Structure 1
Amino acid sequence: MATVTGRPSVSIIIPAYNEEDVIRQCLEAAVYQTVPAHEIIVVDNRSTDATARIVGQVAREFPESPIRLLRQNEQQGLIPTRNYGLSAATGRVLGRIDADSLVEPTWVERVAETFSDPAVDGATGPVLYYDMPLRRFGLKADDRLRQLVLKVAYRQYHFLFGSNMAVRADAWRRIAHEVCRDEQDQMHEDIDVSVHMAQHEMLIRYVPDMIAGMSARRLEDSPKDYRYYVTRFDRTYRAHQINKPLLKIPTLIFMAIYYPAKALRYLHSGLARTT
């Protein structure tokens, strides 16, 4: 289905597991768009909290918005839940965000514009860390960082970012049975999708004004857990027998910013408690 403007329809898919604290704001951001989404799908994966109930409440509050609640109960995990939602969606473009993502009001519009170019198979953009200080400065820094990585690693692998990405439905159908299941939870699932798209020579475009907010809660991890998370980049590439030195850049950058960003977040939270 295409929109009345001739741009492709955009579905938004949100995997969710015990996300009662953030799912409402995520859905409201997806609803308040300059161009409406074709559908907004939350895939609940065995949540034991109020996630599903809140999704139902928001759907009743916004009856004009096509909010769908699906349940994926066969397997616990992000990848089977993500795959279930992507395969169930009916839009021509499949936007994939996290339950703590807050897409900007023009997000759907920018995605549709990007995919109006038939050469584009995937797209990703920068993120704004909404629970950090100097948010707009942080957005500019994130954008510059991602553009630098793409420039240095040009024609190697342009990676998608799971909190803010979209793929053409036809492209997803081509790789849906090839993407790794990662049952041992070793890899970055979004990088895995990127690699499989690259193997088919699909074009992934970086879109600076395709902006989504996300939480910096990863910085609350211990140094050991954070390092394990960041080095998923390396494990993902090794799992695909890819050994290119430039692809180590994201790991090095994210490791380098851990302590400064953690200190900034701690200072920000301390100031917030005193005001």
Structure 2
Amino acid sequence: MDEAPLKKTPLWLAIADSLRAAIAEGQYGEGDKLPTEAELSRRFGVNRHTVRHALSRLVEDGLVHTRRGAGAFVLARPLDYPIGDRVRFHQNLLAAGRLPEKKMLQVETRAATAQDARRLDLPEGATICCTHSLSFADGVPVAVAESRFPEHRLPGLADILKRQPSITEALAAVGVSDYTRTSTRLSAQIATATQAAQLRLREGAPVLFVSSISVDDTGRPVEFGQTWFAGDRISLTLKHTGE
């Protein structure tokens, strides 16, 4: 039986992978200019169109940006984002020297499904608040998130979140002065078309998925959250209690 021919990696993709590895190893740091298209063409023995295709992939993946007439430059290195008992997006980014921004895309109320009720310790059909948001670091999108809150126990929360996007401030306004995570699940996924558009990624790019439940000081759930982080822009780090 004849063996199937080996599938060859396109040259532009091999070049993109080589440059990606060089950036990951620190050969090119944050803000550094990559070699010119002409230099890369000579180095890899290809035409400039092939090099341009490779650089376009790195732009889509959020690793570099290009300036007309100036070349391609390495974007900020992945942000270390601690995951622990108390995770606060705004504080995490400020601590890393980044400028945080969060846009609330949608806030709605609806009846809890059986799964919602179990996660939030509510009777099925009770009112919950659902939010969809997009978070930025230095103006670059890094995460899309969906959260569900027990509006049944925290009346008025949805109206507050429609006026301002801070979950911590909104919960404080309805009497939850502090909250902590009791469970966190992490997994790798690929970006859907909508996630890719929001995060400025190519469809199918890697994203880090985190789901969690947070409780108040009495142990009752106040949030079930799901977040999709841009895989090349965030490095999740586990912060243990007591550190």
Q: Same fold (TM over 0.5)?
A: no
Higher percent of residues as helix:
1
TM-score by structure 2 length? 0.24
TM-score by structure 1 length? 0.22
**CA radius of gyration, larger in:** 2
